[in-house]
Amino acid sequence: MHGADRVYELDIRHIEHNDLDAVLEVERASFSSPWDRGTFETTLEDSRCIALKVTSGVELAGYCIALDLTSMVHILTLAVHPAWRGRGLGRRLVEEVLRRSASKGKVCAVLEVRTSNVPAKSLYSSLGFVHVSTWRGYYTDTNEDASIMVKDLRVRPIADAEAAIVENREVAPGTWRLELDCAIPQAEPGQFVMVQVDEGLDPFLRRPLAVLSQRKGRVELLYRVRGRGTALLAKKNQGEGLRILGPLGRGFTKRASDRTIYVAGGTGLPPLVFLAERLEAGVFIVGAKTISETALLDRVGAIPGVALVVMTEDGSSGDIGLATDGLRRVMDETPDGEEIAVYACGPMGMLKEAAALARERGARIEVSLEERMGCGFGVCAGCVVETRHGLVRVCREGPVFDAEDLLWG
């Protein structure tokens, strides 16, 4: 009998052998293909097993079972009795497993979830898990696919550091390359920094800019002058100081695939150049209205293993058309059966079209969003967007997202 209306203090403890009857009752009430007693017994006997139950008084309301592997934790199962759902118990159990694993130095947590199980996927997304691949027909009872989700458990340090300008130079009309001498922790491709453009109160908010490269204490940024903040930044000279907060956000997942395609439009070039310089493979598509708008083309063309495709709307260089026309062509030229990974950053319309093209082709696509930001580290809710898994903050859960998770409108 479950009496969720009589709530005693909730307690999270290890599952003991004599909890098995209660565990099995929750299991059967939760899954169409429940584990049997033997599976639980074998799993609990495994010395690597982390088996936690949440109880209220003597009543077992839910449990989470995970395996402690060399550098990661594998979450095997999570169940909450129907009478106890909607109270955040699943979240508390997973958080406890993650807390224990992180304190033991595990670098990531991994789990698989039925692709149709939207509530579970939402829970895991809100806990910071990201979908990294799909295992076709993984669940043999229904032949359903599994979504493999991973969460990075490493605490990524950020710093609010004083930076000295090494160079701030216009490299294309309205586009500036800014090189800073600056001691912030190492950024990953797709991460960004918040730049304080002026010491005074105006503009009050720092401006987000993606990291273009970071090496030996030097951080490189590329920005287009849009409004007051970036116009002030363009007036800064060599030797002047700036405050930089970063690195921030979640970058690209950098998965291996047969063909990697980068799609950059507008101000979306920097994080993708950083990624391509790391991966040294694939096709890099740059889209612009006209060639004079673009910067860094020579640099992209020189990345080993990366082929450059230029698309201009006025035909001033490369092929006439949009970046997404280039994407369609490169995907069409990719032999059937080859796995394609697309990474895109640029205007919303371009990202939406790229996501649709990738979906048609069955390619995986990650997009980096350029939402307006206030704080840049998750406290002001100024950058919230709606996803299939609820509201998320672009600065914390993004700026890079699996395109499938976004609601494109």
Active site residues: 112, 124
Asked if 267 is part of the footprint of ligand FAD (rule: CB under 6 A), the reply reads yes
For the bound state, the minimum distance from the C-beta of residue 208 to ligand FES, rounded and expressed in Å, comes to 8
Task: Return d(Cα 319, Cα 21) in angstroms, integer.
Answer: 67
Q: Which of 34, 203, 321, 382 binds ligand FES (CB under 6 A)?
A: 382
Asked if 383 is part of the footprint of ligand FES (rule: CB under 6 A), the reply reads yes
| Per-position b or e across 14-25, b if 16+ CB within 10 A of its CB | ebeeebeebbee
For the bound state, the minimum distance from the C-beta of residue 191 to ligand FES, rounded and expressed in Å, comes to 14
All residues at 6 or more sequence positions from 65 whose CB lies less than 8 Å from its CB, including other chains: 15, 43, 44, 49, 50, 51, 52, 75, 76, 77, 78
The Cβ of residue 102 has, within 10 Å, a number of other Cβ atoms equal to: 17
Sign of CA dihedral 200, 205, 209, 215: positive
Residue 49 DSSP SS3: strand
For the bound state, the minimum distance from the C-beta of residue 267 to ligand FES, rounded and expressed in Å, comes to 17
The residue written with tokens 């989470």 in the block is 64
Structural element, H or E, at residue 136: strand 130-139
The residue written with tokens 């310089």 in the block is 277
Q: Which of residues 352-371 bind ligand FAD (CB under 6 A)?
A: 370-371
All residues at 6 or more sequence positions from 51 whose CB lies less than 8 Å from its CB, including other chains: 14, 15, 43, 44, 63, 64, 65, 66
Which span (42-50, 100-108, 218-226, 298-306) binds ligand FAD, by CB under 6 A?
218-226
Q: Which of 172, 281, 380, 385 binds ligand FES (CB under 6 A)?
A: 380
Q: Which of 81, 393, 402, 403 binds ligand FES (CB under 6 A)?
A: 393
Write a three-state SS string for 327-342: HHHHHHHCCCCCCEEE
Which span (184-192, 269-277, 333-341, 381-389) binds ligand FES, by CB under 6 A?
381-389
Beta strands 241-248 and 259-265 are unpaired
Residue closer to ligand FES (CB basis): 174 or 382: 382
| Per-position b or e across 354-372, b if 16+ CB within 10 A of its CB | bbebbeebebbbbbbbbee
Structural element, H or E, at residue 104: none
The HSE-up count of residue 79 (CA atoms within 13 Å, CB side) is 21
For the bound state, the minimum distance from the C-beta of residue 404 to ligand FES, rounded and expressed in Å, comes to 22
Asked if 210 is part of the footprint of ligand FAD (rule: CB under 6 A), the reply reads yes
For the bound state, the minimum distance from the C-beta of residue 394 to ligand FES, rounded and expressed in Å, comes to 6
For the bound state, the minimum distance from the C-beta of residue 329 to ligand FES, rounded and expressed in Å, comes to 36
Asked if 228 is part of the footprint of ligand FAD (rule: CB under 6 A), the reply reads yes
All residues at 6 or more sequence positions from 72 whose CB lies less than 8 Å from its CB, including other chains: 101, 106, 107, 108, 109, 110
Q: Which of 292, 378, 385, 404 binds ligand FES (CB under 6 A)?
A: 378
Q: Which of 94, 327, 373, 406 binds ligand FES (CB under 6 A)?
A: 373
For the bound state, the minimum distance from the C-beta of residue 398 to ligand FES, rounded and expressed in Å, comes to 9
Residue closer to ligand FES (CB basis): 277 or 371: 371
The residue written with tokens 């109270």 in the block is 87
Residue closer to ligand FAD (CB basis): 54 or 184: 184
Q: Which of residues 373-402 bind ligand FAD (CB under 6 A)?
A: 373, 399
Q: Which partner from the list ligand FES, ligand FAD, none does 84 bind, CB cut-off 5 to 8 Å by kind?
A: none
Asked if 262 is part of the footprint of ligand FAD (rule: CB under 6 A), the reply reads no
Residue closer to ligand FES (CB basis): 268 or 398: 398
Using CB under 6 A as the criterion, which residues of the chain lie in contact with ligand FAD when the complex forms?
A: 192, 203, 207-210, 222-224, 226-230, 267, 270, 370-373, 399
Using CB under 6 A as the criterion, which residues of the chain lie in contact with ligand FES when the complex forms?
A: 373-376, 378-383, 393, 395
